Amino acid sequence: MSEAGKVVVVGAGLAGCSCAISLAGRGINVTLIEAGAMLGGRVQSVSLRGIDREIDNCQHAAFRVYNRFLQLIGHCEAQEILRLQSQTRLSYLEVDKGRISTLKSGKLPPPNHLAISLLRAPFLNFKDKIALQKAVKALQKITEKERRDLDETAFLTWLKENGQTERAIKRFWDPLVMAALNIDSANASSSSAAFLFRKGLFSNADSFDVASFTGDLSGVLDPALRRTLHSAGVKLRTSSPVMEILSKDGVISGVSTRDEIISANTVILCTPIKPTTRLLRGVNLSEINNLIANNLESIGNTTLMGLHAFHEGAVLPENTQFVTCIEEPLIQMLFDRTGELDEIQRAGLPGHWISVPVSFADSFLSMKDTEIQTEYERVVKTAFPNAPELIQFHVVRAKRATSALRPGTQKFRPNADDASSGIILGGDWLDTDWPSTMEGAVRGGLSAAARLLAIRGDEQMNDWHHDMNWPDWPEPPSRGTKGWTEW
């Protein structure tokens, strides 16, 4: 590998790792620099008092429609760290009744693959279901241009304009929007929400198959990424925050960390919004970098909380992986996290683990842990009166969890090559249409890599788009693909 044309990738989350691995795979000399000690960025485990091992910061769910993310996992030969549903099963819990309805994919082609179970599901009434059909038809009819033009409109407005009942909004649309966009439909861009439903409902019948990690997040992701970076030949520096992007005579010359200067003629930023804006403003090369920084700030972030409850035994009924708790603002979902884990990964936990991701949690941040626990216990005891005793309860607050795709934010998302020459952009906030998710991150990282390769004359990358498979990696798994674990 030649020293000429050296590239520094900043940030070893999923975006930075995807970018570095794909570039090194095409012969580029890459150094990946990470501020923290572990790889995987926000997909992270934390230490909590009273637990002898690390656990997830928060439930991280993926879907089969996360094609580039699944390609990355396949390329890392780490299929065992995920388990995918063999049939879409989305369960809804009416807490007061303790009743669970499950939407399942059936034999009909999309967008009707969930229709039969939806007709039978008691959590919505006949009027709600007729309304849903109307919205699905409207979503199917709009063109991609019309969808993007909806960006200034709040999704709630769109839903009301398209005849949705209060119950359909609260019970069907809002939980899915919250889980995927980390914002409610009153505050979400219609363009982003419509993107999500069109991907999930119209592309393939298996798009909404849920995938979950079989071990604690850093525990399974860090070694898989590290191994793959190493065999690709990427030079890795951890615990080395990049302080500044350096330039000489108007040309990018590298970056400085606390301990050293690393030379490079291209710097790729795969960092979250806040450090990206700081690094961009620090390079005194072009007004365009300040403009991108201002735009990223205009997008801003929303919060997530991870609640972790440990019980003396299983809480959810057998074979129920997770439920969405209908019309519960705080305790939005219950995941049987112990059920998802491998046998070995269950060791060292203080009890049977229920994981509760709280999306768009900004208004709950100041609640005391004890108040949150009381609310959790109310929900669990109401729905499952015989639930085993609670042993431990923990709250993890992630203040800048994801980008906030509010109405009018689409125009602020940059493309990979929008910054000044020598700087390429690649985080989960890049304009890939995807929300700030693990899939958005991998797409961001690969888009940055493709841009650089195209600039350097790799003709295959001129036409590459993040909707296409990364050509050097295994194809994403369909249901039943050998080597992938399903349930």
Ligand X SMILES: Cc1cc2nc3c(=O)[nH]c(=O)nc-3n(C[C@H](O)[C@H](O)[C@H](O)COP(=O)(O)OP(=O)(O)OC[C@H]3O[C@@H](n4cnc5c(N)ncnc54)[C@H](O)[C@@H]3O)c2cc1C
Q: What is the CA radius of gyration of the chain?
A: 22
Does 241 contact ligand X by CB under 6 A? yes
> Binding mask 332-371 vs ligand X (x if CB under 6 A, - otherwise)?
----------------------------------------
Does 114 contact ligand X by CB under 6 A? no
Q: Which residue from 8, 14, 90, 383 is in contact with ligand X, where contact means CB under 6 A?
A: 14
Does 449 contact ligand X by CB under 6 A? no
**Least distance CB 369 / ligand X (angstroms):** 16
Sign of the CA dihedral running 216, 219, 225, 228: negative
Total binding residues for ligand X by CB under 6 A? 39
Asked if 16 and 9 touch (Cβ cutoff 8 Å), the reply is: yes
**Least distance CB 167 / ligand X (angstroms):** 26
237, containing H or E segment: strand 235-237
Q: Which residue from 111, 272, 339, 407 is in contact with ligand X, where contact means CB under 6 A?
A: 272
Does 476 contact ligand X by CB under 6 A? no
> Binding mask 39-58 vs ligand X (x if CB under 6 A, - otherwise)?
--xxx-------------xx
Does 154 contact ligand X by CB under 6 A? no
Does 407 contact ligand X by CB under 6 A? no
Report the distance separating Cα 469 and Cα 474, nearest Å. Answer: 8
Give the DSSP letter of residue 199.
I
Q: Which residue from 7, 8, 9, 12 is in contact with ligand X, where contact means CB under 6 A?
A: 12
**Least distance CB 44 / ligand X (angstroms):** 7
Does 16 contact ligand X by CB under 6 A? yes
- How do 235-237 and 30-33 pair as beta strands? parallel
Nearest to 368 by CA among 389, 390, 395, 392: 395
Q: Which residue from 7, 8, 10, 30 is in contact with ligand X, where contact means CB under 6 A?
A: 10
> Binding mask 19-38 vs ligand X (x if CB under 6 A, - otherwise)?
--------------xxxx--
* Nearer to ligand X (CB atom), residue 84 or residue 242: 242
Report the distance separating Cα 172 and Cα 94, nearest Å. Answer: 12
Asked if 436 and 456 touch (Cβ cutoff 8 Å), the reply is: no
**Least distance CB 438 / ligand X (angstroms):** 4
Per DSSP, the residues of 460-471 read: GGTS--TTSPPT
Does 280 contact ligand X by CB under 6 A? no
Residue 59, amino acid: Q
* Nearer to ligand X (CB atom), residue 128 or residue 428: 428
**Least distance CB 272 / ligand X (angstroms):** 4
Nearest to 300 by CA among 400, 183, 442, 154: 400
* Nearer to ligand X (CB atom), residue 94 or residue 328: 328
Report the distance separating Cα 440 and Cα 418, nearest Å. Answer: 18
**CB-based contacts of 386, cutoff 8 Å, min separation 6:** none
Sign of the CA dihedral running 479, 482, 484, 487: positive
Report the distance separating Cα 16 and Cα 288, nearest Å. Answer: 22
Tell me the three-class secondary structure of 146-177, residue by residue: HHHHHHHCEHHHHHHHCCCCHHHHHHHHHHHH
Residue spans of alpha helices (H) in 173-266: 174-181, 190-198, 217-232
Does 437 contact ligand X by CB under 6 A? yes
Binders of ligand X among residues 199 to 218 (CB under 6 A) are: none
Of 107-115, 166-174, 271-279, 336-344, which part binds ligand X (CB under 6 A)?
271-279
**Least distance CB 157 / ligand X (angstroms):** 26
Does 110 contact ligand X by CB under 6 A? no
**Least distance CB 427 / ligand X (angstroms):** 4
> Binding mask 51-90 vs ligand X (x if CB under 6 A, - otherwise)?
------xxxxxx----------------------------
Asked if 67 and 366 touch (Cβ cutoff 8 Å), the reply is: no
Nearest to 268 by CA among 257, 278, 280: 280
The binding site for ligand X (CB under 6 A) comprises 10-16, 33-36, 41-43, 57-62, 241-242, 270-272, 275, 304, 306, 398, 401-402, 427-428, 436-438, 440-441, 444
